[in-house]
Amino acid sequence: MTAAWTPVALVRDVPPLCVMPACVDGVELALWRSATGRLAAWADRCPHRGMRLSHGFVRGEALSCIYHGWSYGSDGHCLRIPAHPDLEPPEAIRVPVYHAVESGGVVWVATEAPDVPPPTVEGSPLRSLTVEGAVDWAAAGFSLSGPVARGHLSGIGVTILVQPLPNGRQVLHALAEAATPAALKEASRDLEALRRQAEEALA
């Protein structure tokens, strides 16, 4: 598989001190942002007892596991083991770190470093939504190029970024051109209609 960027969230949905689960190339991730705004995408597993780090908590520049409070710094290495406050954690205790960048109001993640930056996208964040099944982009009047679908919803130009998940699910991250709040609400409803069509086609 060639290294590629996958859209995983709208930037505005990952504020400082937030941690959330994400999935890229079938790898489960903990996506988080530090107090000063540093964004990171890590393997969603604490090396101590295998607990999901996406259930953890962010303090300052570190992500801590909710199970035993082991905390990890920005390079993924263990900073502190609360059960042994005087112990300097060995270098070997480390969470795998992936590539995460912000571009065009979107968080992009890659499990292997791509040669090129993420695609350039236009518009303001509209919303993200999970769909069971595949959207028929051509039928919806969209053109699809890589993970980027471009078209119109309620007459507004929108860009929809597709994040594939296992088992035929996907997350759509939508951006819209400038419009009135009422028109954006309509576009958002149309996006829900796209989801309903995809899920009804599946059933």
Partner 1 sequence: MTDPVRDEWYPVSLVSQLHHAARDTQLLGEPIRVTLRDGQPLVTASGRALPSQARYGHVWTSLGTPARPLFDIPEADQPGRRLVDVGLVRVKCSPLRAVENFLDIAHFPFVHTDILGAEPHTEVGRYDVAIRDEVDEVWATKVRFYQPQAAKSAEGGITTEYMYRVPAPTVSILYKTCPPRPGEWDVITLFVQPLTETLCEVWPWMALFDDVTPLTDLIHFQQTIFLQDRSILENQQPSLLPLDPGMEIPTRADLTSVAYRRWLKRRGYTYGAQLVAA
Chain contacts with partner 1 (rule: CB under 8 A): 45, 47-52, 55, 65-69, 81-85, 87, 92-93
Burial class (CB in 10 A: 0-12, 13-18, 19+), 139: exposed
Q: How far is the CB of 67 from partner 1 (least distance, A)?
A: 5
By beta-carbon proximity to partner 1, the closer residue of 84 and 181 is 84
CB burial of residue 169 (10 Å; 0-12, 13-18, 19+): middle
Provide the minimum distance between the beta carbon of 55 and partner 1 in the complex, in angstroms, as a whole number.
6
- Which helix (H) or strand (E) segment is 195 a member of? helix 181-202
- Cβ closer to partner 1: 8 or 65? 65
Q: Which is nearer to partner 1, 45 or 150 (CB)?
A: 45
Beta bridge partners of 159: 150, 175
CB 24 within 8 A of CB 42: no
Q: How far is CA 4 from CA 116, 161, 188, in A?
A: 8, 13, 28
Select 66 or 79, whichever has its Cβ closest to partner 1: 66
How far apart are CB 91 and partner 1 at their closest, in Å? 12
Q: Report in angstroms how near the CB of residue 63 gets to partner 1 at its nearest.
A: 13
